[in-house]
Structure 1
Amino acid sequence: MGNLPEGEAFDPLVARWGSCPARSGYGPMGIPQPCSSGQHYAMALKDRMRNVGRVIDSLSDRNAELHRQIKEIRAGVAPEAVATIEQHASDLEAEAMHLRARYPDLKVAEDPFASFPEDLGIDMPEEVPFEYSADVPEK
């Protein structure tokens, strides 16, 4: 930068690309000409897009591999899980038969939460207000 030409304050501000050789690619003082700098940015953009394409290909391959592994796991786990559940169910049935033999007079109580059709005829309010107060009732 020490060899810059001296100028005066009243000199016009004009581009001096015309004084550069057409094929050199660089203007005065080693500054790239617009066409070569445009090529530089275009190549940088192409390199960036190529790298992004490689990343996308890599992620796509990894995604396909994970899908394949999930399918293998689902196919392999299903028969094992069914066999385990069937074994557990048969064990519970055997235990129930053992309890029935040991306690023949044992009766199972009705489910208190079961719905019975005879309960449908009872008059009950649709909405029951809830008391939100924090007061403790007196004894």
Structure 2
Amino acid sequence: MELLDVARKVRDNAYVPYSRFKVGAAVRGASGAVYHGCNVENVAYPEGTCAEAGAIALMVASGETRLTEVAVIADSPQPVPPCGGCRQKLAEFGDADTLVLLATTSGKVLHTTIGELLPGRFDASHMSEVG
């Protein structure tokens, strides 16, 4: 199954009683396995979880720490990019040239990379003098 199809399917499970804005995400681990997540809202609004964060959490819980491809889908006029926090999370587990597919439910797809989404990213190389 294509990565975008997995994201589309898991989007249906999003828990969004407040915004009604469903997002689905899927990441492919270095092993080739696919992990998925959907956004989960909470009445205490900042306590929700983004779809990308959920997919990454499932990947890590399954024993992988490298991703090679990302797909995110939402019902919006234009493809929706990950929030700033999720961009940093993607950068933690993927390379700058890792493909990111951003899509709408109507079929628009934007191809980008983690590096394009988060230029000048903070990474482990910035901490080389620590400890």
TM-score scaled by length of structure 2: 0.18
Q: Whose relative contact order is higher, 1 or 2, with alpha carbons under 8 Å and at least 6 apart?
A: 2
TM-score scaled by length of structure 1: 0.17
